[in-house]
Structure 1
Amino acid sequence: MKSKSQNSKVYIEIVKQLREMIAADGLKTGDKIPSERELSERLIVGRSSVREALRALELLGLIETRRGEGTFIRDFQGNQLVQLLSTFILQDEKARRDVKETKYCIEMDCLRLILQKDPRFKLEEIYKLAKEAEMNDDEFFHHLIQLADNHLILRIWAILKDYYHSQDFEKEIARPEEYRALLDALVAGNEELAIEKYKELRKMSKS
């Protein structure tokens, strides 16, 4: 059985192959791409791996799936993010650590954006999540990042989150009161306290 690290390398390679295939076939914005089954046969990889790669491209806004119609190219030529991710991230141990650091930086920047946009009236739903005995960290931060109202940041965070989970980092779980403390700081409009509570939640050093 392949390790998660091996699977992640296969996943990145598929994204690269998809990019090359789209360029070689001369596909452009609005064109339909082959089905999962066809891509699996053409690239000689499992359908589950193809599905993951397509999901990454969709999160980046490069393709879109229309129910009953198929999957279509969006702005592929104008977006270099997939190339950046597929040729840089996870190529060495430092890059692997950079995934974690970048994910955390994005989350902290989103806290600052939230405070700039002052969506305190929308935090009630997230408070309900914070009452759970075991908080789903991904769900919690997905809701928070949505409040930052920046779709590109949300897409980048989602991709980094998937890479993060593929690399056997320790599962991120904080106590419900730690999540609530972060929310309290946001409601209070206190950026310094919000960042402090975030670092405590992530068990980051205060230096």
Structure 2
Amino acid sequence: MNNNVNTSQENSKVYLEIVKQLRHMIDSDNLKPGDKIPSERELTERLNVGRSSVREALRSLELLGLIETKRGEGTFIRDFKGHRLVELLSTFILQDEEAKKDVHELKYLIELDCLRLIVQRNNDEKLNNFYQKVLTTDFNDEEYFFNIVTLSENRLILRIWLILKDYHNALKLVKPEAPKEKYIALIEALLNKDQTGIISSFNSLRKLSSY
């Protein structure tokens, strides 16, 4: 038990050290998006850690969208300026394997807050337009909730949700499947400004217990 805990803590330190090292290289060497970072072997020597740990850390950073690997060419920096929130999220997630399981829950809580904001915005015209679109066209869960989050008219929340959505997809977590009627019921509750109905419809859609 203790050995497993110690191993987990050591792996977390390795991940964080590589994140710090990459940030240091970007700042000190004035690296830009598209520039190449040191190889696995070079990072292994510089950080004095096992190569397998470096490989796993780089894989995690790639899932987060901070770096990208091109076969036969090496690993390159992606646009960090566009991923400040990803960096903050990764600093937390990479410390705790269990935190990955919480990504979907946080995503759902943000969606629920967006529903509350939509009611406060009182923009029935946009909501009605979305309602008609849902009634007459096909869509998937991701498209539906992208529209919901957009209707909250909070750009920061949208940005956070998009990051969580991408990370959720990268982890290949189980995605909810629900009949179209459940999605329609949620919008109808929004149009009626039925707080209880909104929460009930959302929980049913996401198969969550009532708050």
Same fold (TM > 0.5):
yes
Equivalent residues, number: 169
Instruction: Find the counterpart in structure 1 of residue 65 from structure 2.
Output: 52
- 8 Å Cα contact 1:135-1:174 kept in structure 2: no
One-letter amino acid of the structure 2 residue matched with residue 192 of structure 1: T
Change (3 A) 1:123 1:93: same
Change (3 A) 1:154 1:20: farther
Residue identity (%): 43
- 1:87 and 2:100 aligned: no
One-letter amino acid of the structure 1 residue matched with residue 195 of structure 2: E
- 8 Å Cα contact 1:130-1:177 kept in structure 2: no
CA distance in 1, matches of 2:176, 2:17: 27
CA distance in 2, matches of 1:191, 1:22: 47
Question: Equivalences for 1:3-152 in 2 at 5 Å?
Answer: 19-26=23-30, 33-35=32-34, 38-39=35-36, 42-44=37-39, 49=62, 52-53=65-66, 62-63=81-82, 81-131=85-135, 135-152=139-156
Q: For CA contacts below 8 A with separation 6 or more, give which structure has more relative contact order.
A: 1
One-letter amino acid of the structure 2 residue matched with residue 121 of structure 1: E
Instruction: Find the counterpart in structure 2 of residue 192 from structure 1.
Output: 196
- 1:162 and 2:170 aligned: no
CA distance in 2, matches of 1:124, 1:54: 41
One-letter amino acid of the structure 2 residue matched with residue 53 of structure 1: L
Please state how far the C-alpha of 1:132 moved relative to its aligned partner: 6.5
One-letter amino acid of the structure 2 residue matched with residue 184 of structure 1: E
One-letter amino acid of the structure 1 residue matched with residue 65 of structure 2: E
Please state how far the C-alpha of 1:191 moved relative to its aligned partner: 1.9
Change (3 A) 1:99 1:128: same
**Under a length normalisation based on structure 1, what TM-score does the superposition of the two structures give?**
0.66
SS at match of 2:147: helix
Change (3 A) 1:100 1:118: same
Runs of 4+ in 1 over 4 A off after TM superposition: 12-18, 43-46
Instruction: Find the counterpart in structure 2 of residue 201 from structure 1.
Output: 205
SS at match of 2:210: coil
- 8 Å Cα contact 2:150-2:158 kept in structure 1: yes
CA distance in 2, matches of 1:195, 1:103: 15
Instruction: Find the counterpart in structure 2 of residue 180 from structure 1.
Output: 184
Query: Which residues of structure 2 form unaligned runs of 5+?
Result: 1-15, 40-57, 69-77
- 8 Å Cα contact 2:178-2:205 kept in structure 1: yes
Give the alignment's Cα RMSD to 1 decimal.
Answer: 3.5
Instruction: Find the counterpart in structure 2 of residue 69 from structure 1.
Output: none
Please state how far the C-alpha of 1:43 moved relative to its aligned partner: 4.6
